[in-house]
Structure 1
Amino acid sequence: MAALSNSLIFLCFLLLPGVLAFAGPHGESYPCPYDCPPQKETHLHMYLHQFPAWANVTNPNEVAWQGWVADHWLLTKGPDPNNNIVGRARGFHLLTGETSKDWYISHIYVFQDNRFAGSTIQVLGMLDGEWSIIGGTQAFYNARGYIKYKEIPSTVSSITDIVRELDVHIFTPDASTAVNGVAVSI
């Protein structure tokens, strides 16, 4: 347990400054003290499907190992996990306390649909209904933002599938003001 505590403390010290530097307590960005480029918001509505690594789940999309769980969760356009897959949530979650909400998550959402294929966002947080976006690539280069979510009933089985309806707000430098791929202030 001491090794787990030391790992968790190290992880918090490593990631916390980045989270605090870019997002407020409700996902809002702090004002930029410099001449910052204009921001563009991308709003996505999608569903996250977790098939837990439980004995009764025949098709888990995660692997548990000593308190850590490696994830490869599905992202879809609708609540059915078998249709309209738009990407994957790859990363891990770690039990950090005593309740079912005391899970810390760290994911990279890798998009595979035509609109954002190959783009990613970095997502961090606890299982409390809201996560932070602290980075991204390609269409979401230098992303910041937040995800609000709620658990909804599964279309497959409430025993084998945990479904979260995601309300995603991604803020990136406005590409319409870019010069040679670099955002500039106007």
Structure 2
Amino acid sequence: MMADDPLTEGPDPNSKPVGRAQGIYGSAGQNELALIMAMNFDFTDGIYNGSCISLLGKNPAMNPVREMPIVGGTGLFRFARGYAIAQTYWLDVTTGDAIVGYNVTVAH
């Protein structure tokens, strides 16, 4: 699947947009619902405008909280390394739509 989703300050869909979450993901688990994700958090607002953070890793989607690696970035995040803690706030299993929060810690 391809993704080009709004990146907002908080989990409320009406919170301030700060960029786009763009990338790809696909099934990665035989015994669990897991995704392999290659995702860029592309910032379009504020001091990070034009910069991005790159995430690459396995997302065991049914775990309430999961950790994935940050493997790089561009602009102000050039040479970024770190981790993202993901938490699902809302999921519609019929459509696959979800609101996921990412708490990202990076050194750059």
State the TM-score, normalizing by the size of structure 2.
0.82
Q: 1:145 aligns with which of 57, 82, 91?
A: 82
Alignment of 1:10-89 (within 5 A): 69-89=1-21
Number of residues paired by the alignment? 102
**Alpha-carbon separation, structure 1, partners of 2:32 and 2:14:** 27
Answer yes or no: is the 8 Å Cα contact 1:123–1:134 preserved in 2: yes
Q: Percent identity?
A: 32
Is the Cα contact below 8 Å between 1:101 and 1:126 reproduced in 2?
Answer: no
- Does 1:102 find its partner at 2:45? no
What is the aligned partner in structure 2 of residue 93 from structure 1?
A: 25
Q: Deviations over 1:14-62 (max 9, x none)?
A: xxxxxxxxxxxxxxxxxxxxxxxxxxxxxxxxxxxxxxxxxxxxxxxxx
Residue 111 and residue 97 in structure 1: after superposition, are their counterparts in 2 closer, same or farther (change >3 A)?
same
| Unmatched 5+ stretches in structure 2 | 61-65
Residue range with higher mean Cα deviation, 133-142 or 94-103: 94-103
Provide the C-alpha distance between the structure 1 equivalents of 2:85 and 2:57, rounded to a whole number of angstroms: 11
* 1:100-128: CA deviation from partner (whole Å, max 9, x where unpaired): 53210001111011120010111011113
CA–CA distance in structure 2, aligned partners of residues 104 and 122 of structure 1: 13
Greater helix fraction, Structure 1 or Structure 2: 1
Deviations 1:48-103 (A, max 9, x none): xxxxxxxxxxxxxxxxxxxxx01112211122223311111111001123355321
Which 4+ residue blocks in structure 1 deviate beyond 3 angstroms? 157-161
* Letter of the 1:96 counterpart: A
Provide TM-score, normalisation by structure 1.
0.50
Q: CA RMSD in A?
A: 1.9
Q: Write the distance in 1 (CA, Å) between the matches of 2:32 and 2:44.
A: 31
Choose 1 or 2 for highest CA Rg.
Answer: 1
Output the CA distance in 2 between the equivalents of 1:141 and 1:123: 13
CA contact (8 A) 1:152 1:165 kept: yes
Conserved? CA contact 1:110–1:121, under 8 Å: yes
- Equivalent residue letter for 1:166: Y
Residue identity in the other structure for 2:82: G
- Per the TM alignment, residue 152 of structure 1 is displaced from its structure 2 partner at its CA by 1.4
Question: Structure 1: any 5+ residue segments left out of the alignment?
Answer: 1-68, 173-186
Tell whether 2:89 aligns with 1:169.
Answer: no
